[in-house]
Structures are given as structure tokens and as C-alpha cells.
């Protein structure tokens, strides 16, 4: 989510992507193919954290915080939104779902307003929960509309980006409503050299899907509804290519516009990113 250009790896059939690492990350060795087995809860894993969004009202403050830290200076990638704090207009749990809503709205009276003309929300578990390895499953329905850029992703808890790594479980662009993507960012492959996999998903905006990540000491696989579209293997020979042996926290956000979100159609607002559940499983001891 921090970057806006990636090395693209298309999924072709929508079920399997080819992971072309050699050129993208300047690493030795042949290109690697994503594993064909389904992404699913592995045997021997147990649920360690979840939010089923079954209590109406604000997102559970024991599990989620609101990131508003860059409203004044402006967010990454020239995005156009102001991320609000805990207010129901932008983030609320209703009827068993978290609803993150972006609005055409100017909050010039806010002390941290940075000139934005859209509001949205960016939720995160930083300081509340973080994990090293695991199976992550988020059931969600993407918003529709040109200019929307929702994401489900993780960031490291310590070092400066991209040294601590970033794992984008899914990103979606309103200007390409029938595609979803995943990405990996590291010091060896960030910004224009990050590793990226995508697949066609024609009903991403009209149906809920399971967006999944299986992260182990050997690699990270990303998929939708059990099918892999990107596998990133551990590559110990490449300096900075594997920072993923340390905790990462989870983020849910709906960005507007920017270098990747693109031009915005003001007729779409308000527009809603819906999340049905978030579940994290880890290997049983």
C-alpha cells in the first residue's frame, strides 16, 4: 500500500500466477511458479485472533485503532483522502459487517486537515495485536467506483519501511473492478521492484470473497477462495529479501485516488468497503 508501481505477475486463468523473481528483484536463479495447492487453514493450525463484527457500533477498540497520523502532511502515493478517527460516518459495525465508508466531504475545521476533500478510515491492530507467521483470512466485498483503492495488508512493527517488509493480502482498484491483486515489498524489492500477482474476479464488487494469506518460515502464499495467485518463497541469498521472521500488524483501509487509485468519479460517493470477518490462525504448539 505504500508503493504505487510493482513488477506485475498476471494470473492468466485466475487460479495460478507465475512468480518472476529473477529480473524483478535481481536475484539469482530461475523464475519460480506459485504453488498450485489451495490456500486454506493448514492442518494443525488453530484460531488465535478474530473479529466477527457481531456487535453493532464502533469497531472494537480493544482490537482496532484508527491511523490519522499523516492527514496534515498528506498520505503516501498522493492519495486524496482524510482518514477520520472513530466516527460512524466512516467506520461502523452494522448487521454483522464492518463498513468502511468513503465520502465526498471536506473537514476544514479539523486541526489536522491537510486540504483533502474526501473522508475515509484506516483501521489497524498496531499496539494491540501482531503475528509472526500464520494463516490470515478476511471475507470482504470490494467497493465499486472509479478512484477507490481498498486494501487488506500487514506491516512490520519496528524498522523503517521497507526494511521490515509489507505483505498486501489484497488490493483492488475501482478503475479495474474485475481484478484483485497481492504484493510483497522488501528492501530488496520495493516501489517499482516489488513482487505482484493478480487475478480476474468479475464479481469482486458484488459478492463477498475470502482473501487469504499463508505465511510460514518458508514463504508466503496469497489467494482468493482457496486458490493461489502469488507465492513468494524465502530467498535467504538475497540481502533484505526476507524480513518476514518478525511480527506484523494488520491494516484495513479505503484510500481514494492517488498514483494508483487514479482519477476519481465524484458521483460514486458515498462508497462502502464491507468486511464480514477477519481471522488469524497459527500453528498449534
pLDDT higher than 60, residue 36: no
Q: Is the dihedral of CA 91, 140, 4, 159 positive or negative?
A: positive
Kindly state whether residue 178 falls inside one of the protein's structural domains.
yes
CATH classification of the domain holding 12 = 2.60.120.200
How do residues 106-126 score in pLDDT, each as one tens digit?
999 999 999 999 999 999 999
pLDDT of residue 159: 67
- pLDDT digits over 128-180, tens only? 999 999 999 999 999 999 999 999 999 998 768 899 999 999 999 999 999 99
Residue 31 lies in a domain: no
Q: What is the pLDDT of residue 189?
A: 81
In a domain, 233, yes or no: yes
- Quote the DSSP letter at residue 246: S
- Residue 28 located in a structural domain: no
186 within 8 A of 123, measured Cβ to Cβ: no
82 grid coordinates: 482524510
At 239, the pLDDT band (50, 70, 90 cuts) reads confident
Q: Is residue 32 part of a domain?
A: no
Residue-number span of the structural domain to which 120 is assigned:
6-23+37-283
Q: What is the DSSP string of 192-244?
A: GGEEEEEEE-TTTTTS-EEEEEEEETTEEEEEETTEEEEEEE--TTSTTS---
Give residue 35's pLDDT band: very low, low, confident or very high (50, 70, 90): very low
Residue 26 DSSP symbol: T
Known active-site residue 171: yes
- The verdict on residue 29 lying in a domain is no
Residue 220 within a domain? yes
pLDDT at 1: 61
E-state strands within the chain: 6-10, 18-19, 32-33, 45-51, 65-66, 81-83, 91-94, 97-104, 118-120, 122-124, 134-141, 148-156, 166-172, 179-185, 194-200, 209-216, 219-224, 227-233, 248-256, 271-283
Which 3-state string (H, E, C) describes 39-50? Answer: CCCCCCEEEEEE
Q: Is residue 119 part of a domain?
A: yes
Cis peptide bond N-terminal to 105, omega within 30: no
pLDDT exceeds cutoff 60 at 17: no
Q: What are phi and psi of 235, to 5 degrees?
A: -130, 80
Cell numbers linked to 77:
502515493
- 79, 137, 164, 166: which one is catalytic? 166
C-beta of residue 248 within 8 angstroms of C-beta of residue 157: yes
Number of domains in the chain: 1
pLDDT, the chain, mean: 87
**pLDDT, tens digit, for every residue of 178-237?**
999 999 999 988 766 689 999 999 999 999 999 999 999 999 999 999 999 999 999 876
> Residues 171, 212, 274, 285: which is the catalytic one?
171
166: annotated active-site residue: yes
Cα(229)–Cα(14) distance, integer angstroms = 7
Q: Any alpha helices (H) in the chain, and if so which ranges?
A: 21-25, 258-261
Q: Any residues with CB less than 8 A from the CB of 94 and at least 6 apart, and which?
A: 56
Amino acid at each position: 500500500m505504500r508503493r504505487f508501481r510493482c513488477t506485475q505477475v498476471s494470473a492468466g486463468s485466475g487460479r495460478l500466477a507465475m512468480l518472476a523473481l529473477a529480473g524483478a528483484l535481481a536475484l539469482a536463479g530461475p523464475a519460480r511458479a506459485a504453488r498450485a495447492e489451495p490456500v486454506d487453514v493448514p492442518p494443525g493450525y488453530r484460531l488465535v485472533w478474530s473479529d466477527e463484527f457481531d456487535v453493532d457500533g464502533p469497531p472494537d477498540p480493544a482490537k482496532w485503532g484508527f491511523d490519522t497520523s499523516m492527514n496534515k502532511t498528506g498520505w503516501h502515493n498522493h492519495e486524496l483522502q482524510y482518514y477520520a478517527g472513530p466516527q460512524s460516518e466512516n467506520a461502523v459495525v452494522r448487521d454483522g459487517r464492518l463498513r468502511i465508508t468513503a465520502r465526498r466531504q471536506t473537514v476544514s475545521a479539523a486541526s489536522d486537515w491537510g486540504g483533502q476533500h474526501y473522508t475515509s478510515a484506516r483501521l489497524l491492530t498496531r499496539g494491540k495485536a501482531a503475528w509472526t507467521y500464520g494463516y490470515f483470512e478476511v471475507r470482504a466485498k470490494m467497493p465499486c467506483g472509479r478512484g477507490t483503492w481498498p486494501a487488506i495488508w500487514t506491516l512490520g512493527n519496528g524498522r523503517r519501511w521497507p526494511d521490515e517488509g509489507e505483505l498486501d493480502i489484497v488490493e483492488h482498484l475501482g478503475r479495474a473492478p474485475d481484478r484483485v491483486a497481492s504484493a510483497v515489498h522488501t528492501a530488496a524489492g520495493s516501489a517499482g521492484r516489488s513482487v505482484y500477482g493478480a487475478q480476474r474476479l468479475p464479481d469482486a464488487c458484488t459478492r463477498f470473497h475470502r482473501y487469504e494469506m499463508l505465511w510460514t518460515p518458508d514463504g508466503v502464499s496469497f489467494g482468493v477462495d482457496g486458490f493461489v495467485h502469488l507465492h513468494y518463497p524465502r530467498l535467504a541469498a538475497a540481502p533484505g529479501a526476507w524480513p518476514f521472521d518478525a511480527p506484523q500488524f494488520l491494516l484495513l483501509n479505503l484510500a481514494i485516488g492517488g498514483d494508483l487509485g487514479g482519477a476519481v468519479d465524484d458521483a460514486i460517493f458515498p462508497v462502502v468497503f464491507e468486511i464480514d470477518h477477519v481471522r488469524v490462525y497459527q500453528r498449534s504448539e
